[in-house]
Amino acid sequence: MKQKGLIIVLSGFSGAGKGTIMKHLLQSHPGEFNLSISATTRQKRQGEEDGRDYFFKTREEFDAMIENGELLEYATFNNNSYGTPKSYVEQLVNEGKDVLLEIEIQGALQVKKIFPEAVLLFVMPPSADALKERLLGRGTETEEVVAQRLAISTKESQYMSQYDYLVVNDELENAVENVYSIISSEHLRTARNVENINIIKEDLKKFERS
């Protein structure tokens, strides 16, 4: 049975736990998924390797990738740019490999425009109060910063309906398995199995009465 891989995008509020879900998904299902590697203009840190941790680019190279439409999405943080190389993702998908992208909402919607078949998952807490508690529980941010993050989450919530699935991260184990179940179900969609359908239809013709 032949099938292309899936592009799976995880987004969510700061503090919702999308990174933790991604980490546990990879640990609990080793070898089944490929993390997308981003291109970046930031300097390589000690121990990092080009093509393993990031695709390290000069500002000129990165700008050329934007100009040539070589990035699925991109954004700039602290004067460093990050983006998802389109050809890298396409290669993995065409090899039948599922690709995971953990990106922000703007980037996720950019990916959806280029690849409508991409599966967008939005990770959310069980309640707004739970989100605030998690942000405060980190112990690394002031109440002012937490208030800013909650204000951003309020704006981000307006885009939730543009995602394909909502994943409530109440119990981590359940959230991870829900993500895995969604991905498994997506592989079984008839729209993703047109070639397989045509193969069995053609093969069944040998049983037709002449």
C-alpha distances (whole Å) from 154 to each of 11, 30, 62, 94, 148 are 14, 35, 32, 37, 10
Q: Are strands 39-40 and 55-56 parallel, antiparallel or unpaired?
A: parallel
* pLDDT value at 210 more than 60: no
User: Hey, what domains does the chain have and what are their CATH numbers?
Assistant: 7-36+98-207 (3.40.50.300)
Q: What is the pLDDT of residue 116?
A: 95
Q: Are strands 80-85 and 71-77 parallel, antiparallel or unpaired?
A: antiparallel
pLDDT in tens, 2-29: 688 999 999 999 999 999 999 999 999 9
Provide the pLDDT confidence category of residue 1 given band limits of 50, 70 and 90.
low
In DSSP terms, which residues pair with 167 in a beta bridge?
123
pTM of the model: 0.87
